[in-house]
Structure 1
Amino acid sequence: MLLFFPDPSWASVNRGTFICDECCSVHRSLGRHISQVRHLKHTPWPPTLLQMVETLYNNGANSIWEHSLLDPASIMSGRRKANPQDKVHPNKAEFIRAKYQMLAFVHRLPCRDDDSVTAKDLSKQLHSSVRTGNLETCLRLLSLGAQANFFHPEKGNTPLHVASKAGQILQAELLAVYGADPGTQDSSGKTPVDYARQGGHHELAERLVEIQYELTDRLAFYLCGRKPDHKNGQHFIIPQMADSSLDLSELAKAAKKKLQSLSNHLFEELAMDVYDEVDRRETDAVWLATQNHSTLVTETTVVPFLPVNPEYSSTRNQGRQKLARFNAHEFATLVIDILSDAKRRQQGSPLSGSKDNVELILKTISNQHSVESQDNDQPDYDSVASDEDTDLEATASKANRQKIGRSALVTSSSSLPSFPSTLSWSRDESTRRASRLEKQNSTPESDYDNTPNDTDPDDTGSSRKGRQRSMVWQGDGSVPDTAEPHTAPSPILPSTEDVIRKTEQITKNIQELLRAAQENKHDSYIPCSERIHVAVTEMAALFPKKPKSDTVRTSLRLLTSSAYRLQSECKKTLPGDPGPPTDIQLVTQQVIQCAYDIAKAAKQLVTITTKENNN
């Protein structure tokens, strides 16, 4: 365990370690394919998952990741752990990357000519080990390249089948974290769930079902704070937007139609990417609520978009990162559309006249963003050479229906653990054969750039940039786009100290709001949002009416429009409003995301002004 302060607040689930706030900021920047981070108090935990992490930690799982550092020879070579007094950047950050991303200190097996043989041997050892309770042995095998979904050719089953037969629920948790599929059938057609029930391990069987639907459960819980009742056969919850205007727009209808036309493989990738974005947003909200607000302003600790996963294509990584641009309402609409279509695919409901048209989707996305300026926190996207094959015949077949398992949703390297996610609809095998093509086509954003009713979807401002203008805080003269059309752009920026001072005020007010959300003090929402409103107004007033910098304009637009939406969401908690009853859990989630958008925009402005004033 890498701890520089006592009483760790976070855990890295797939590494079996507890981590402090400083280390957590680095872990999160690595991405969930490297470290799956959860807060110990402010994140809901399945009891057996937390027990699995605690068991690994207590049994010395950290020594797996620091194996070579325990060798006295490593001291002679100059290699050492980072010390508590070292700076986070670069000292501690470089050590954490070497330890978990590069696996620089993991025990290495002797080199062999055929790595696949080595992986097969390790997987067979894993297959035998999971029948016992020795978690650290299995984690060590997984760290060396054993495959959690390995199908034993002689035994005719997977490690999860073995663990389920033996009733080893913590082993099942570990295997699931590394991508094991509870829906995989053995040579006799039985799943791990079947064997758990057959052996009387009812808690394990119920947990395996939860794992199988974890992706859609997590998306539903993110919006409405509820999960399906799997025991009684309910496997999906489709939350309803409190304001359905976005769902009725022509743009939203077109986007939903495109989503429905995706092949199963592409739809899975989109759902997985949205799952990662949900995790990033939820973890950022916890992070904002638990950190010192001055530290948040002065240090780069927020993860502004999904980190690059080298297992994915450049196109997919770009699409994943652009999900961060969705505001709270747009992202909620995307999540609901995914849940609705996941249920449709699970039930095998056909779409009349549906065919895959990924190339058109990508073209639409490209056109919509071609006029967009890069935000300060957006990556410099690589240009991806087009190697697309226009023959997408793989999407037509509906024959050979079968349940897909988690093996379809994980990375190819066991050293890059997958996030837990399972979809259970049918997949045609020809889609698998087209996976390389489809990975290049899985850019899941901007089809869901939905607009409110007061915006004409056919307006020339159909790009996100134009739509954001329509959502700007009306009546706030400090918003750049509301300046007189003949006002000349001004390059003048306020002092860094003034921007930092106002940002600290905004952050402090946001933390009060997030604490109220965590404690279910819904009557505090409106007073908190009003204080944030005042602080945002004062922050925006520091800047010229029409800043010359595109990034400043974009950040101010995000700041003010998010504050406007925050007030609108908080007002929904007032009693006695006409219309359907308010889903307070959905409102709370929208409030949290609006607050996060405000904090992100304020931090962008700090970064921009600091950079410009230092030049």
Structure 2
Amino acid sequence: MSKRLRSSEVCADCSGPDPSWASVNRGTFICDECCSVHRSLGRHISQVRHLKHTPWPPTLLQMVETLYNNGANSIWEHSLLDPASIMSGRRKANPQDKVHPNKAEFIRAKYQMLAFVHRLPCRDDDSMTAKDLSKQLHSSVRTGNLETCLRLLSLGAQANFFHPEKGNTPLHVASKAGQILQAELLAVYGADPGTQDSSGKTPVDYARQGGHHELAERLVEIQYELTDRLAFYLCGRKPDHKNGQHFIIPQMADSLDLSELAKAAKKKLQSLSNHLFEELAMDVYDEVDRRETDAVWLATQNHSTLVTETTVVPFLPVNPEYSSTRNQGRQKLARFNAHEFATLVIDILSDAKRRQQGSPLSGSKDNVELILKTISNQHSIESQDNDQPDYDSVASDEDTDLEATASKANRQKSLDSDLSDGPVTVQEFMEVKNALVASEAKIQQLMKVNNNLSDELRIMQKKASRLEKQNSTPESDYDNTPNDTDPDDTGSSRKGRQRSMVWQGDGSVPDTVEPHTAPSPILPSTEDVIRKTEQITKNIQELLRAAQENKHDSYIPCSERIHVAVTEMAALFPKKPKSDTVRTSLRLLTSSAYRLQSECKKTLPGDPGPPTDIQLVTQQVIQCAYDIAKAAKQLVTITTKENNN
């Protein structure tokens, strides 16, 4: 039985009692509130797992426990242990602190900025420092001292370092020595069990030669971790690697998409280079982790006392090491409903197996469709709801055009800036690239949109009174009050929730429209829509001025005012408008305002020097603001036209 439930355990970040989550790559245990901040940082900063409600490979949990019990937290808080830190006023968070900004600022400084990690003396040749650290790691992994290796990794040692004299990697050394916990730690930091040494042997080979059979089996599992996780997400089963079964390809009748777009997407997926395919698979793995952790989060929270600042993570946080286009592609994965996402996962599993086995890809279109038709004949496909489109577009007009021609997430992996292969890949990349106008140009464009919108509003207001008299409407049935659904009822369905009509305020995820709500042709008065649009426009202009003047601390209050105005405007409309164009505009309006709030919260640390991704955040903020203004303008135009008829 694990030692993880000892009463003496406290949160590594705020010292609160009984932490229930772990940060795997940091070797710490954390409480619910601090975990909510960890999740918002992204998996590249902190990989979180629930200690009781998430499946754990036993040796992975043992590795984290060992690090925690041996003071791994002191690695991340090294300078805070210095008495001089207390004198200077620097301190760690405590359980009574608010999540935002207190705990969030401390956690970001601790793990994202590495503000308290021991710094090496400055040297002219940073690469030599990294090489020296990696050589030390190479030597240390033959022992059981995990915290020493974590300290080296925190300072920049490379888990996949290939020692030029020894001709192997740290994972080879750990495997030969039978150090299974060291192997777990190295794998968490990216060590590849399939890497060959100068003799052509892998770490798995050395583990087997040394009689370390448990380690050898675990290394094989790590090698297939990505595809195993995707398969388990869909069907709850993992391959039997011991008996040579390395892939499970679920064929789920209720999840497979056989539309023409899905067929085209599968073909494009197969045409990706191995490099781009691996990136796509990694991004989908991160999205699976986000969805599964959301489900655990919602199932374990005390909903009667849960505060809105500790909420689910609505989409994958920005990773500054990735290009802007790749980050946007990753975020769009959250928009896929369960049906679409399962189809994508199955396609990735199928193609991963094909690529590993070296099966050639037939150029025949008939062969691709024959596979899909065969699956269709084997399974009765459930009819889909034709009232709403499978994929909700929440981006710009240009992006909407792109989504009409390139389906689902398979195109997302064409987004990285270093694409170089295949006419389809380059074409898709350029389409998306052209849709993402530079921040300054977008600011000017949005300013122009707002000016035009203001002019239109003045004209429409003159007609509003007359239209109001002619079109007195009954009470709206759009009951848009927050939290009209019991939070406990949403836990099991969060994986599949994507279609957002209205969102509940203060950072919660978009809600799902009730399936039995009858479509309503009733629209609000033009005057009411104009009034709410004016509020939105005014607040957007304030946000843009803040962006132009680099006043990043103004982002959050501006986004909150926009959020309120958008919520009030959405409340004017029926829950399920009969008009497709109204539904599309409302989705764009509410989801963009929600994404805007999430982006603005990334500016919370408030350090004198903005974080390295502040330009990317600003670009995302401007894009969201542009989409909100465009959606509001569409709703004004639609309402005016309909009320005139």
TM-score over 0.5 (shorter chain): yes
Q: CA deviation at 1:84?
A: 1.7
Contact 2:26 2:72 in 1 (8 A): yes
Call closer, same or farther: CA 1:472–1:263 in 2, change over 3 Å.
same
Contact 1:330 1:448 in 2 (8 A): no
* Aligned equivalents of 2:605, 2:42: Cα separation in 1: 41
2:634 pairs, out of 586, 604, 611, with 604
Call closer, same or farther: CA 1:556–1:194 in 2, change over 3 Å.
same
* Aligned equivalents of 2:247, 2:551: Cα separation in 1: 28
* Aligned equivalents of 1:76, 1:578: Cα separation in 2: 21
Contact 1:362 1:441 in 2 (8 A): no
Whether 1:293 and 2:294 are equivalent positions in the alignment is no
Cα-to-partner distance string for 1:491-548 (whole Å, 9 max, x where unaligned): 9999999999999999999999999999999999999999999999999999635779
After TM superposition, the structure 1 stretch with the greater mean CA deviation from structure 2, 386-395 or 445-454, is: 445-454
Q: CA deviation at 1:86?
A: 1.1
Q: CA deviation at 1:382?
A: 19
Contact 1:510 1:595 in 2 (8 A): yes
After TM superposition, the structure 1 stretch with the greater mean CA deviation from structure 2, 459-468 or 333-342, is: 459-468
Call closer, same or farther: CA 1:332–1:109 in 2, change over 3 Å.
same
2:334 pairs, out of 324, 328, 333, with 324
Contact 2:192 2:223 in 1 (8 A): yes
1:407 pairs, out of 434, 447, 458, with 434
Call closer, same or farther: CA 1:253–1:394 in 2, change over 3 Å.
closer
Call closer, same or farther: CA 1:554–1:39 in 2, change over 3 Å.
farther
* Aligned equivalents of 1:259, 1:532: Cα separation in 2: 38
Q: CA deviation at 1:451?
A: 31
Unaligned stretches of 5+ in structure 1?
Answer: 1-5
Name the SS of the counterpart of 2:306 in structure 1: helix
Query: What is the 5 A alignment of 1:441-456?
Result: none
- Identity of counterpart residues, as a percentage? 96
Cα-to-partner distance string for 1:382-434 (whole Å, 9 max, x where unaligned): 9999999999999999999999xx999999999999999999999999xx999
Q: Specify the alignment match of 2:157 in structure 1.
A: 146
Q: CA deviation at 1:380?
A: 22
Cα-to-partner distance string for 1:327-377 (whole Å, 9 max, x where unaligned): 011101100000000011111111133999999999999999999999999
Name the SS of the counterpart of 1:392 in structure 2: helix
State the superposition RMSD in angstroms. Answer: 19.8
Cα-to-partner distance string for 1:229-254 (whole Å, 9 max, x where unaligned): 000000000011133x8433222111
Unaligned stretches of 5+ in structure 2?
Answer: 1-16, 414-432, 457-461
* Aligned equivalents of 2:473, 2:503: Cα separation in 1: 30
After TM superposition, the structure 1 stretch with the greater mean CA deviation from structure 2, 547-556 or 131-140, is: 547-556
Contact 1:494 1:543 in 2 (8 A): yes
Q: CA deviation at 1:571?
A: 40
Q: CA deviation at 1:579?
A: 62
Cα-to-partner distance string for 1:27-65 (whole Å, 9 max, x where unaligned): 000000000000011100000000000000000000000
Call closer, same or farther: CA 1:82–1:250 in 2, change over 3 Å.
same
* Aligned equivalents of 2:73, 2:139: Cα separation in 1: 23
Call closer, same or farther: CA 1:415–1:582 in 2, change over 3 Å.
closer
Contact 2:172 2:203 in 1 (8 A): yes
Name the SS of the counterpart of 2:268 in structure 1: helix
Call closer, same or farther: CA 1:360–1:297 in 2, change over 3 Å.
farther
Contact 1:289 1:515 in 2 (8 A): no
Contact 2:529 2:569 in 1 (8 A): yes
Call closer, same or farther: CA 1:413–1:448 in 2, change over 3 Å.
farther
Cα-to-partner distance string for 1:85-126 (whole Å, 9 max, x where unaligned): 111100010000000000000000000001000000000000
* Aligned equivalents of 1:421, 1:501: Cα separation in 2: 19
* Aligned equivalents of 2:113, 2:229: Cα separation in 1: 29
Cα-to-partner distance string for 1:125-175 (whole Å, 9 max, x where unaligned): 000000000000000000000000000001110000000010000000000
Name the SS of the counterpart of 2:387 in structure 1: coil
Call closer, same or farther: CA 1:392–1:442 in 2, change over 3 Å.
farther
Contact 1:373 1:551 in 2 (8 A): no
Call closer, same or farther: CA 1:213–1:323 in 2, change over 3 Å.
same
After TM superposition, the structure 1 stretch with the greater mean CA deviation from structure 2, 489-498 or 508-517, is: 508-517
Call closer, same or farther: CA 1:97–1:554 in 2, change over 3 Å.
farther
Contact 1:216 1:339 in 2 (8 A): yes
Contact 1:573 1:584 in 2 (8 A): yes
Q: With structure 1 as the length reference, what TM-score do the two structures score?
A: 0.62
Cα-to-partner distance string for 1:306-341 (whole Å, 9 max, x where unaligned): 000011111100000000000011101100000000
Contact 2:394 2:587 in 1 (8 A): no
Name the SS of the counterpart of 1:38 in structure 2: strand
After TM superposition, the structure 1 stretch with the greater mean CA deviation from structure 2, 36-45 or 442-451, is: 442-451
* Aligned equivalents of 1:302, 1:104: Cα separation in 2: 26
Contact 2:501 2:512 in 1 (8 A): no
Q: CA deviation at 1:600?
A: 23
Contact 1:64 1:106 in 2 (8 A): yes
Contact 1:502 1:538 in 2 (8 A): yes
* Aligned equivalents of 1:13, 1:23: Cα separation in 2: 14
Name the SS of the counterpart of 2:53 in structure 1: coil
* Aligned equivalents of 2:611, 2:393: Cα separation in 1: 47
After TM superposition, the structure 1 stretch with the greater mean CA deviation from structure 2, 84-93 or 516-525, is: 516-525
Contact 2:499 2:510 in 1 (8 A): no
Q: Specify the alignment match of 1:416 in structure 2.
A: 443
Contact 1:74 1:80 in 2 (8 A): yes
Q: CA deviation at 1:300?
A: 4.9
Contact 2:101 2:604 in 1 (8 A): no
* Aligned equivalents of 1:436, 1:397: Cα separation in 2: 45
Name the SS of the counterpart of 1:553 in structure 2: helix
Call closer, same or farther: CA 1:160–1:322 in 2, change over 3 Å.
same
After TM superposition, the structure 1 stretch with the greater mean CA deviation from structure 2, 27-36 or 511-520, is: 511-520
* Aligned equivalents of 1:210, 1:525: Cα separation in 2: 44
After TM superposition, the structure 1 stretch with the greater mean CA deviation from structure 2, 417-426 or 553-562, is: 417-426
Q: Flag the structure with larger Rg.
A: 2
Cα-to-partner distance string for 1:538-570 (whole Å, 9 max, x where unaligned): 999996357799999569879999999999999
Q: CA deviation at 1:435?
A: 60
Call closer, same or farther: CA 1:124–1:153 in 2, change over 3 Å.
same
Whether 1:382 and 2:392 are equivalent positions in the alignment is yes
Contact 2:144 2:179 in 1 (8 A): yes
* Aligned equivalents of 1:562, 1:263: Cα separation in 2: 32
Contact 2:443 2:622 in 1 (8 A): no
* Aligned equivalents of 2:57, 2:370: Cα separation in 1: 41
Q: CA deviation at 1:276?
A: 0.1
Name the SS of the counterpart of 2:49 in structure 1: strand
Cα-to-partner distance string for 1:471-507 (whole Å, 9 max, x where unaligned): 9999999999999999999999999999999999999
Name the SS of the counterpart of 1:11 in structure 2: strand
Contact 2:267 2:368 in 1 (8 A): no
Q: CA deviation at 1:292?
A: 1.9
How many residue pairs match? The answer is: 605
Contact 1:509 1:528 in 2 (8 A): yes
